[in-house]
Amino acid sequence: MVKKLLVIGFVWPEPQSSAAGSRMMQLIGFFQSQNYQITFASPCAKSDNAYNLESIGVSQVVIELNHSSFDGFVKDLNPNIVLFDRFMMEEQFGWRVAEQCPNALRILDTEDLHGLRKGRQQAFKDGKAFDKTYLFNDVAKREIASIYRSDLSLIISEVEMELLKNNFKVPDDLLVYLPFMLDANSPESIELLPKFHERQHFITIGNFMHEPNYNAVLFLKEAIWPLIKKQLPEAELHIYGAYVSQKVSQLHNKKEGFLIKGFADDVNEVMQNAKVCLAPIRFGAGLKGKLIDAMQNGTPCITTSIGAEGMFGPEVSGLDANGFIEDTPESFADRAVQLYQKEILWIEKQQNGFQVVNERFNSNHFQQKLASIIEETIQQLNKKRQNNFTGQMLMHHTLQSTKFMSKWIEAKNTNKIEN
């Protein structure tokens, strides 16, 4: 019997633009390795950066929000598993899936915890310490409800796993720790990478639709880069990222060596050309794709405590960073200069990055683990749902509220068209 997976995407995957896009392609690759026939559906408009999924045998379907046409579509498809890309898609379509395909396993890929990111951003804006007042925000309430309604939720960071268990009391059996799933850096591939003296300048990279990335570039512009430039007057900072807006473009200054380069056609190439990656993230959540790119391409990195979160393992027993973790502009800049100038130190930090990729994000390990958990959950799905009364309760109320709101919107839109 053919196994079917339906992915309901918040956006169409853009692996060259964002870590979320890379993460989705890793998940699609996993399910293909498990012989699933995959359909990717999204209500989002498709950009030029979207990956052509049909080129790898994945069907692409455009679906509508608040429209009953989805009911017939999902019932006809009759998937074994439905994967929701972020909690917003579970809110929109989860109740429809539950009604039309009650036996389908419902998996939520959180990407990162949106409530955590929102809370940290608000605390940063307020100039206050992040605490439960900021954590227990409206987005978090929606997100945790979505996790309870789902059969499994994929959590990208160990820090977020602990936060969900300790602060929100989410049962362990609803959560699956699944970080980025990466191929190992082989000695042969490492040998081919440009060496210390073959690289120059600094790099930072990130999708500018993501507020933490813009804020980090602003932090570099205003506080960190002038300190680096003073010590390294010939150095340049090359800033890459998709969706460069006017407020980003106006930061470009050739005289200061602060260069907005825009979208990178090949992230690996620009990362390999750079000597040091700068990632002064001041708020956010999840794992940072730019640090993964840096480690895979042998580019040591300076980041912050938020940037390093979940990357290197527990503080006591984790691995050494592929650079330095600094939270003040002065120490951040000094470490960046030190790493830029000292070859032995640079090589040491580069080797740390290769070790982190190979030991903490090994695709073989996590693919086997995920396959085992999915199979076990499918076998015990009814029992699992019976034991999750909170999820049943939230699904009941979602069916009463979201369902009728959606039907009201559909009726309203239909009436507009007829008039």
Digit-coded pLDDT (tens) for 57-83: 999 999 999 888 999 999 999 999 999
What average pLDDT is seen over the chain? 94
The pLDDT confidence band at residue 415, using thresholds 50, 70 and 90, is low
pLDDT of 260: 96
Q: Are 189 and 268 in contact (CB under 8 A)?
A: no
Do the domains 3-181+363-418 and 187-360 sit in the same CATH topology, yes or no?
yes
The tokens of 135 are what?
Answer: 């954590």
Among candidate residues 108, 104, 212, the one with its CA nearest the CA of residue 164: 108
Phi, psi of 370 (to 5 degrees): -65, -40
The pLDDT confidence band at residue 382, using thresholds 50, 70 and 90, is very high
Write down the pTM of the prediction. 0.93
pLDDT of 315: 66
Digit-coded pLDDT (tens) for 277-311: 999 999 999 999 999 999 999 999 999 999 999 99
- Residue 316 predicted with pLDDT over 60: no
CATH match of 3-181+363-418 with 3.40.50.2000: yes
CATH number of 187-360: 3.40.50.2000
Digit-coded pLDDT (tens) for 20-42: 999 999 999 999 999 999 999 99
- Residue 417 predicted with pLDDT over 60: no
Among candidate residues 52, 100, 72, 74, the one with its CA nearest the CA of residue 8: 74
Buried b (16+ CB within 10 A) or exposed e, 375-392: eebbeebeebeeebebbe
Q: Are 132 and 167 in contact (CB under 8 A)?
A: yes
- Residue 183 predicted with pLDDT over 80: yes
Digit-coded pLDDT (tens) for 252-268: 999 999 999 999 999 99
Half-sphere exposure of 286 (CA within 13 A, CB side): 28
Rounded to whole angstroms, the Cα distance separating 15 from 365 reads: 22
Average pLDDT over every residue of 344-369: 96
The residues spanned by each domain of the chain are 3-181+363-418, 187-360
Q: Are 106 and 51 in contact (CB under 8 A)?
A: no
- Residue 321 predicted with pLDDT over 90: yes
